[in-house]
Chains A and B, each alone.
Chain A
Amino acid sequence: MPTITNQLRRLRFEHGEMTQQELAVRVGVTRQTIIAIEGGKYTPSLELAFRLARAFDVGVEDLFCWKTDVELPENNSLRQGG
């Protein structure tokens, strides 16, 4: 079953031990939402994912990781770069 993990907690501490409240204000959500994302209980929208990544000046894939047991097919268009 695919799961989305994130590096939110680590990045917060690497950015001057930023508090959950500070991050929440910066990206425009409630502190409870930051807690839920960090705990893997809530998967943010694409827009919020970008806002979070921008807050740490990293790419979305540096912040979120999609772990899945399902292999993409060889002829998948994503793998062909188009």
Chain B
Amino acid sequence: MTPLYKEGLFWLILLAVTALAYMILALFIGPIRAFGACGLLGLGGLLPLVYRKQGQTVVLDERDQQIAIGALIAGYSIFWLAFTLGTMGLWTALCYEGQATVSVDLLPQIVGGGGILFFTARAVAILVQYRLQDADKGK
């Protein structure tokens, strides 16, 4: 298992744990205050630990870099798609002819949601690319 694969797995687990924590907290303290569960995402700062060099083994090579670039593009594309649809779409739908306004309070949530979407799509893309390339590992 390469460090990049571990990173993808780490992000997916962390995002799942955060989502679970949010749902549990939302039951007790309400859906808005439960966003505090997103603080768990700060554990992503521990990621450099998976890139520690052990002995002679290579940590990242050209294939990992290609996969990382592919995952970055996938993550950014998904983020941009959702972010643009979410902001422009919401704006157009709610503010048609000045009937309503979108609260500025929504902005941090949209940006935060976009970030979560980016990391989720990137992690999935990392795992999928490794799965596709290592499909015949056992042969």
Residues of chain A at the chain B interface (Cβ within 8 Å): 24-25, 28-33, 35-36, 39, 41-42, 44-45, 48
Q: A35-B137, A39-B137, A39-B139 are in contact. Are A29 and B132 (CB under 8 A)?
A: no
The prevalent SS among residues of B at the interface is loop
**CB atoms of B134 and A24 under 8 A apart:** no
**CB atoms of B61 and A36 under 8 A apart:** no
A/B pair count, beta carbons within 8 Å: 50
Residues of chain B at the chain A interface (Cβ within 8 Å): 1-2, 56-64, 130, 132-137, 139
Q: What are the 3 tightest A-B residue pairs by CB atom distance, in nearest-first order? A: A29-B61, A41-B133, A33-B63
Interface hub of A29, A30, A33, A35 (most chain B Cβ within 10 A)? A30
13 A-B interface contacts by CB (under 8 A): A24-B58, A29-B63, A30-B2, A30-B58, A30-B64, A32-B1, A32-B63, A32-B130, A35-B137, A39-B135, A39-B139, A42-B133, A48-B62
Which residues of chain B are within 8 angstroms of A45 by Cβ–Cβ distance? 62
Interface residue from B56, B59, B60, B63 paired with A42 (Cβ < 8 Å): B63
**CB atoms of B61 and A25 under 8 A apart:** no
Interface residue from A30, A41, A48 paired with B135 (Cβ < 8 Å): A41
**CB atoms of B58 and A36 under 8 A apart:** no
CA distance A25 to B2 in the complex (A): 14
Given contact pairs A25-B57, A30-B60, enumerate 12 new A-B contacts (beta carbons under 8 Å): A24-B57, A28-B61, A30-B57, A32-B1, A33-B62, A33-B63, A35-B134, A35-B137, A39-B135, A41-B136, A42-B63, A45-B62
Which residues of chain B are within 8 angstroms of A29 by Cβ–Cβ distance? 58, 61-63
Query: Nearest chain-B residue to A26 (Cβ)?
Result: B56
